[in-house]
Every structure is written in structure tokens, then in C-alpha cells.
């Protein structure tokens, strides 16, 4: 595969490219700048990607922040909702036509979105998606992860209705030992440092289900699944609420400034 790493740190992205090239002895990996907290940056990234004129068989939506203090993206969105959810929502929609063109009857293009078990306790506040009434880092994070599951199910419904050779699935990577926990309380940080080897997955282990969803023959043609430890499992009951899926989609289109599914997806 020709892999393009999209990220908001040029230095870390280039370092990842260097490591992959050393380990795999391939030049088919590169970095492109994309800040998921900026609608402008997302659109610029899509323009640069399109200019490469290459197919898009797999899109992995993996960026995220967790338990950050109350703050906004440059577009004025609450950061969990704006980066974790809306950034991926816009990126996916802007790349959908390329995914459709790349998918075939025997090899569907695949969209994999990384959520979290936290979505099970999440509540979607359609009248206050920006958590303006009362901000809770835990509540905002859980809402963003629930939104990703609702988005995936709605997207798969629309793709199926259109007969597109594209599948959309959502992944729970488990509890992974990464820098995602830098905003938790110091007591939790200490506990994490002491127990990570026992209870936390390594980044490689955490990526396994995403990779499974991206390349496994067993997932060919399968969409609308919630995957954990490389197995299909049940997400939160509320995530299957089709009316909630539809309303979130419509509101999300308004927030990021794209037309609704009638012209964008269908």
C-alpha cells in the first residue's frame, strides 16, 4: 500500500515516515499536514491529496483529544466535539467521492473510524452539542465518541442505499498506553505509570483492530459494524437510534458548511 499519514505535527509525522521506511524498506509512505481542529486545514489537506491523483481505498479516522480543559477550535467548536467528531465528519465527506471511485464490487473501499468504550456512557445533547450549558471534560469526550458511532451507522445506511462499494465501520481500540492521557489527574497518571504494563495495550496492540477492519478479507463488504478485539460486538443501544443518527448528520452538515446527504452522499 501507498500510505499517507495525516497529522498536525510535521516533525512527528516525518519521524513516523522515517521509522516506517527503515522497518519496511519501502518509499511508499509520506506525511501530509492536516489539523483536524481546523476546517480550513482539512479542506487544504483534501486539495493536496486530490492533486496526487491516486486512489483512496482505506480511510482511517484516528485523531483525538481526551479530557482537555474547556476550550474552542479556531472555528469556535468545543474541542472534543470539533476535533474528535466534526473534523472527521468533514474529512470523510470531502473524500467520499474518491472512496466511491476507488471501491469495486469485489474490493470495497473502507472507512474505519476509531471511537472508544467511553461512548457507552455518552449522551448526545442535540440542543447543546458544544457543551455550553455545563462543561464536563468526561461528558464532552464521551459525547464526541458516541457521535462517531452514530455517524458511522448513518454513513453506512446512506452508502448502502446508494449502492456504493464503500463500507464504514467503527473500532474500539481498548485502553492503549499513549499520550492521550496527558490531561488526566496526576493521581491517574501515577497509577497509569505503575500499571500500564499490566492493564494497558501497547500502541501496536491498540492498532490491531483498526488494521483488521482496514485489510482483513473477513471484513470485505461488511459495514455498519462495531469492532473490539477484532470481533463484531454491540455498541450502546442509543447508537442504533436512526432518528438520532439522521438529526446529528443534518446538524453536522450545517456546522461544517456542506450540503446534506441528498447532494453530498447520495
Tell me the residue ranges of DSSP E strands in 139-219.
166-172
- pLDDT at position 188: 44
Task: Work out the average pLDDT over 16-23.
Answer: 94
Instruction: For residue 56, report the phi and psi dihedrals to the nearest 5 degrees.
Output: -130, 100
217 occurs within a structural domain: yes
156-168, pLDDT tens digit by residue? 999 999 999 999 9
For a pLDDT cut of 90, what percent of the chain falls above it? 75
Task: Work out the average pLDDT over 161-188.
Answer: 70
33-58, pLDDT tens digit by residue? 999 999 999 999 999 999 999 999 99
Measured between alpha carbons, how far is 118 from 138 in angstroms, rounded to an integer? Answer: 9
20 occurs within a structural domain: no
Query: What CATH number should be reported for the domain holding residue 188?
Result: 3.40.50.720
Known active-site residue 212: no
4 occurs within a structural domain: no
22 occurs within a structural domain: no
pTM: 0.88
97-110, pLDDT tens digit by residue? 999 999 999 999 99
- pLDDT at position 27: 79
Domain count, the chain: 1
Q: Which residue has the cell 509520506?
A: 30
Among candidate residues 85, 120, 141, 212, the one labeled active-site is 141
54 occurs within a structural domain: no
Task: Work out the average pLDDT over 50-72.
Answer: 93
Measured between alpha carbons, how far is 92 from 94 in angstroms, rounded to an integer? Answer: 5
23 occurs within a structural domain: no
94 occurs within a structural domain: yes
Q: C-alpha cell of 71?
A: 476550550
Measured between alpha carbons, how far is 78 from 164 in angstroms, rounded to an integer? Answer: 33
- In 132-165, which positions are buried (b, 16+ CB within 10 angstroms) versus exposed (e)? eeeeebebbbbbbbbbbbbbbbbbbbbbeeeebb
Q: How confident is the model at residue 197 (pLDDT cuts 50, 70, 90)?
A: very low
What is the domain range of residue 64?
59-264
**137 or 153, which is more confident:** 153
- pLDDT at position 191: 45
Determine contact, residues 264/257, Cβ cutoff 8 Å. no
- pLDDT at position 31: 97
34 occurs within a structural domain: no
Determine contact, residues 252/246, Cβ cutoff 8 Å. no
Amino acid at each position: 500500500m501507498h500510505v499517507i499519514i495525516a497529522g498536525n505535527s510535521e516533525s512527528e509525522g516525518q519521524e513516523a515516515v522515517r521509522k516506517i521506511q527503515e522497518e519496511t524498506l519501502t518509499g511508499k509512505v509520506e506525511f501530509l499536514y492536516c489539523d483536524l481542529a481546523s476546517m480550513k486545514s482539512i479542506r487544504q489537506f483534501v486539495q493536496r491529496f486530490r492533486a496526487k491523483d491516486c486512489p483512496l481505498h482505506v480511510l482511517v479516522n484516528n485523531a483525538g483529544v481526551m479530557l482537555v480543559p474547556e476550550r474552542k477550535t479556531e472555528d469556535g467548536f468545543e474541542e472534543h466535539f470539533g476535533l474528535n467528531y466534526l473534523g472527521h465528519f468533514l474529512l470523510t465527506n470531502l473524500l467520499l467521492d474518491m472512496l466511491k471511485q476507488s471501491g469495486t464490487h469485489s474490493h470495497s473501499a473502507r472507512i474505519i473510524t476509531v471511537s472508544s468504550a467511553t461512548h457507552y456512557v455518552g449522551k448526545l445533547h442535540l440542543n447543546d452539542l458544544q457543551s455550553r450549558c455545563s462543561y464536563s471534560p468526561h461528558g464532552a469526550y464521551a459525547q464526541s465518541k458516541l457521535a462517531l458511532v452514530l455517524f458511522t451507522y448513518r454513513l453506512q445506511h446512506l452508502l448502502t442505499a446508494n449502492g456504493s462499494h464503500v463500507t464504514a465501520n467503527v473500532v474500539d481500540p481498548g485502553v492503549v498506553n499513549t499520550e492521550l492521557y496527558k490531561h488526566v489527574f496526576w493521581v491517574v497518571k501515577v497509577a497509569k505509570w505503575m500499571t500500564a504494563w499490566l492493564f494497558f495495550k501497547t500502541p501496536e496492540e491498540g492498532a490491531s483492530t483498526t488494521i483488521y477492519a482496514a485489510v482483513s478479507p473477513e471484513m470485505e463488504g461488511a459495514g455498519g459494524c462495531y469492532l473490539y478485539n477484532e470481533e463484531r460486538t454491540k455498541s450502546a443501544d442509543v447508537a442504533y437510534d436512526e432518528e438520532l443518527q439522521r438529526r446529528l448528520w443534518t446538524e453536522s452538515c450545517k456546522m461544517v458548511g456542506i450540503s446534506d446527504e441528498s447532494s453530498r452522499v447520495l
